[in-house]
């Protein structure tokens, strides 16, 4: 199979490394992970590789039947895999609250949270909570989910003395956002809306969220790391809202883009690899730390986004 050739960084991995390769020899037995957007693409591959390494995987999926199909494929390959499917729509506050309540009621440990689900380049749409869909799904949904699961992760880390890891799948598209970075005053405004900038805004929010949460956890001396990543250009269905581009990616992408096995590599690396123990608040590309543009390291912007997001979820949770 044709594979991208890439220069290997300090980690020893490159753009051509696969998720299986970066986790080779790692035993994840006894760990529990939640993966959002787990029914297709790099989310499904992430679940498969984590299960292969012995991790108990909770698949958060919008479509239960699609999730069940992925689970069946994993079980067929890995008969002793521990995989569960739970319904989770990241664009819906009520769905997120239900998911977190159901998970927390099971009294399971939670070592790894992988915020992977996302949409891209959708026409202007408001979520059921009245929030622009990219921001609602890619950032705010994961912000709320992380908030609702964080105490359980802290408890797991303290009781097991095993480092918890939160991984947020962002994108290099954070570089292409609105001129103010985050349109706080016009987050739900159709005027001036551009799907590519709305997507970039949500991906910038992912990086800022990771940095601010990491900063707070370090201050609390909590044994949980938080990192964001760019998976690379992947042949998936994320372009489904752009018919022509989706067709072009499906036809030509296999020649110039990563496959899902390569696309899931950095996520799985951050979830399991001992090389990143204690590393937090960073942005990774091809399993290596990469510097980000200045607007993605703006601490004031990150804190403003945190307060803004907390305000939104409190409004929604009390409405």
Nearest-angstrom CA–CA distance, 138 and 118: 5
Q: Does residue 234 sit in helix, strand or coil?
A: strand
193 catalytic, yes or no? yes
pTM over 0.75? The answer is: yes
CA distance 169 to 182: 18
Other beta carbons within 10 angstroms of residue 115's beta carbon come to 29
User: 122 with 197: CB under 8 angstroms?
Assistant: no
- pLDDT for position 6: 54
31 vs 55, 239, 272, 302, CA distance in Å? 5, 33, 10, 30
Report the CATH number of the 19-312 domain: 3.40.50.720
Position 316 scores a pLDDT of 65
Residue tagged active-site, from 193, 199, 241, 269: 193
Please tell me the number of Cα atoms within 13 Å of 313 on its side-chain side: 25
pLDDT score, position 73 = 98
Annotate 150-210 with three-state secondary structure. HHHHHHHHHHHCCCEEEEEECCHHHHCCECCECCHHHCCCCCCCCHHHHHHHHHHHHHHHH
Q: In 3D, which of 72, 32, 37, 65 has the Cα closest to residue 50?
A: 32
Q: How do the pLDDT tens digits run along the chain, 319 residues long? A: 223 345 689 999 999 999 999 999 999 999 999 999 999 999 999 999 999 999 999 999 999 999 999 999 999 999 999 999 999 999 999 999 999 999 999 999 999 999 999 999 999 999 999 999 999 999 999 999 999 999 999 999 999 999 999 999 999 999 999 999 999 999 999 999 999 999 999 999 999 999 999 999 999 999 999 999 999 988 655 555 445 444 444 445 444 589 999 999 999 999 999 999 999 999 999 999 999 999 999 999 999 999 999 999 986 665 4
Instruction: Give me the residues paired with residue 33 across strands.
Output: 57, 112
- CA distances for 311 relative to 132, 180, 188, 314, angstroms: 16, 20, 15, 5
| Spans of all domains in the chain | 19-312
Question: What is the C-alpha to C-alpha distance for residues 306 and 310, in angstroms, rounded to an integer?
Answer: 6
Cβ-contact 84, 108 below 8 angstroms: no
Rounded distance between C-alpha atoms, residue 111 and residue 95, angstroms:
22
Handedness of CA 296, 301, 307, 308 (dihedral sign): negative
Residue 233: per-residue pLDDT: 87
């Amino acid at each position: 199979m044709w594979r991208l050739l890439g220069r290997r960084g300090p980690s020893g991995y490159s753009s051509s490394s696969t998720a299986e390769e970066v986790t080779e020899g790692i035993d994840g037995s006894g760990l529990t992970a939640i993966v959002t957007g787990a029914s297709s693409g790099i989310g499904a591959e992430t679940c498969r590789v984590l299960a292969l390494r012995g991790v108990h995987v909770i698949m958060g999926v919008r479509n239960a039947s699609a999730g069940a199909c992925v689970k069946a494929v994993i079980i067929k390959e890995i008969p002793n895999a521990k995989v569960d499917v739970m319904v989770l729509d990241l664009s819906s506050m009520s769905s997120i609250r239900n998911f977190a309540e159901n998970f927390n009621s099971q009294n399971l440990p939670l070592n790894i949270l992988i915020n992977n689900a996302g949409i891209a380049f959708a026409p202007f749409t408001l979520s059921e909570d009245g929030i622009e869909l990219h921001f609602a799904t890619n950032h705010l949904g994961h912000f709320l989910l992380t908030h609702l699961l964080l105490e359980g992760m802290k408890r797991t880390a303290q009781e097991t003395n095993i480092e918890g890891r939160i991984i947020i799948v962002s994108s290099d598209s954070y570089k292409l956002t609105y001129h103010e970075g985050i349109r706080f005053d016009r987050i739900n405004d159709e005027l001036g809306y551009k799907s590519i900038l709305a997507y970039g805004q949500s991906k910038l929010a992912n990086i800022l969220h990771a940095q601010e949460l990491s900063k707070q956890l370090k201050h609390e001396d909590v044994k949980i790391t938080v990192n964001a990543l760019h998976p690379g250009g992947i042949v998936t269905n994320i372009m489904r809202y752009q018919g022509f581009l989706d067709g072009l990616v499906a036809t030509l992408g296999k020649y110039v883009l990563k496959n899902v096995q390569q696309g899931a590599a950095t996520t799985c690396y951050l979830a399991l690899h001992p090389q990143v123990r204690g590393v937090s608040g960073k942005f990774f590309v091809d399993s290596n730390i990469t510097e980000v543009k200045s607007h993605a390291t703006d601490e004031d912007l990150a804190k403003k986004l945190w307060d803004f997001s907390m305000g939104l979820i409190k409004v929604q949770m009390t409405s």
